[in-house]
Amino acid sequence: MQTAIQFLNENDAAAFEPAPAYDGPMVDRFGRAINYLRISLTDACNLRCVYCMPEHMTFRPRDELLHGHEILAIVRASAELGTTKIRLTGGEPTIRPGIVEMVRSIASVPGINQVAMTTNGLLLAELAEPLAQAGLRGLNVSIDTLDPVKFKRITRWGDLGRVWDGITAAEAAGMHPLKINAVVTRGFNDEEAVALARLSIDRPWHVRFIELMPFGSVAEFQQEMVVSSAETRALIEAELGPLHRVAGDNSDPARPYRLAGARGQIGFISSVTEPFCAGCNRYRLTADGKLRLCLLRDKEVDLLTPLRNGCTVDDLKDIIRTAVWNKPWGHGLPDGIVPQQREMSQIGG
């Protein structure tokens, strides 16, 4: 049986071409090896960050989201196609029921060498040790400010103390290096960059500053609040001294630097002002079962419907391989093309 690719928008079909026959791991039309799958386990979250979603957000019904066995089927098919790294995201992945067993199951799939997670950290104090024992090896924690009052204002519902306890628990569980993600937003936390950068001096952490990316219903607000990585870097250097470039993985979106004598690193993810599309090795699975081939492009391919219609493993692999072959080179922000059909929380970053 040959399962036809199903698109979020029917107009997308005309822009897709069949993947040629080739052996080995997946590549796209531009020759990039695609081996990193980011999976959104849920679109729901226990925070309401101002740059991410409206405070009164409506989430999808549970039956419209991928079930655990469906996620595992996609992971197995992707691993057979050469995917080696999985990152679990949300919404907030730790609020998904059975998250520890989900990590254990994914980590046991042949070919998957690393399972990582991006989290807001609120539940880490209780979950860090079980997650580490289940096979979680990489952890990114989102902290946009070290000021508890600002943290509450940015996240609307957050408690910085709980997040800090979670980070401490993750370190004790052996998750190294820890990565701290900070989305820099003008007027909210742009002056916090220096305090966050200082975390890398005495700790072996990777502190990463992320340019705000425009999305969905809050895109207009987001575009007005973008702070370039160059601006953030200049602010840090003015206070803490020169940043020295260090060697890094070309597929990692964070350009790594280090302050003199620091134990950790500082990275800049410049999606808006300095795109890193040439080294992109990732594709994304949304919580409702769509393959999203670029974070900042709305084009998606449906996997949920074929799965629930009984497609075979080979059918699933054909859909994934063809979708990845058609991965776009990069986003369209310079041309004014802003993704509108999802909020960031529905994709997982």
pTM of the model as a whole = 0.90
| Domain assignment present for 83 | yes
236 falls within a domain: yes
Is residue 134 pLDDT above 80, yes or no? Answer: yes
- Which structural domain, as residue segments, surrounds residue 25? 6-346
Residue 155 within a domain:
yes
* Residue 78 covered by a domain: yes
Does residue 275 sit within a domain?
Answer: yes
What DSSP character marks residue 11? Answer: G
Q: What Cα–Cα distance (Å) separates residue 260 from each residue in 96, 181, 197, 269? A: 41, 21, 12, 21
DSSP string of 215-272, one letter each residue? -GGGHHHHHHTB--HHHHHHHHHHHH--EEE----TT-SSEEEEETT-SSEEEEE-TT
Q: What integer pLDDT is reported at residue 226 of this predicted model?
A: 86
| Each residue's pLDDT tens digit, 179-213 | 999 999 888 889 999 999 999 999 999 999 999 87
Average pLDDT, the chain: 88
Radius of gyration (C-alpha) of the chain in whole angstroms: 20
Is residue 1 in a domain?
A: no
Q: What's the pLDDT score for residue 218?
A: 47
As a whole number, mean pLDDT of residues 158-173 equals: 95
pLDDT of residue 271: 82
Can you tell me the distance from the alpha carbon of 156 to that of 152, in angstroms, rounded to the nearest whole number?
5
- For the segment 73-113, what is each residue's pLDDT rounded down to a tens digit? 999 999 999 999 999 999 899 999 999 999 999 999 999 99
Which residues, in sequence order, are CB contacts of 343 under 8 Å at separation 6+? 43, 52, 53, 57, 215, 216, 217, 218
On whether residue 148 sits in a domain, the answer given is: yes
* Lowest-pLDDT choice from 9-13, 116-120, 166-170, 250-254: 9-13
- Contact criterion met (CB below 8 Å) for 68 and 102: yes
How far from chain centre, in Å, is Cα 293? 13
293 within domain boundaries: yes
Structural domains counted in the chain: 1
What is the per-residue pLDDT across 5-49, written as a single tens digit (0 to 9) for each? Answer: 555 444 454 567 888 887 789 999 999 999 999 999 998 988 887
Q: Any idea of the CA torsion for 172, 173, 176, 182, to the nearest 10 degrees?
A: -80
Q: What percent of the chain has pLDDT over 90?
A: 63
If you count them, how many residues does the chain have? Answer: 349
The pLDDT value given to residue 11: 45
CATH number at residue 25: 3.20.20.70
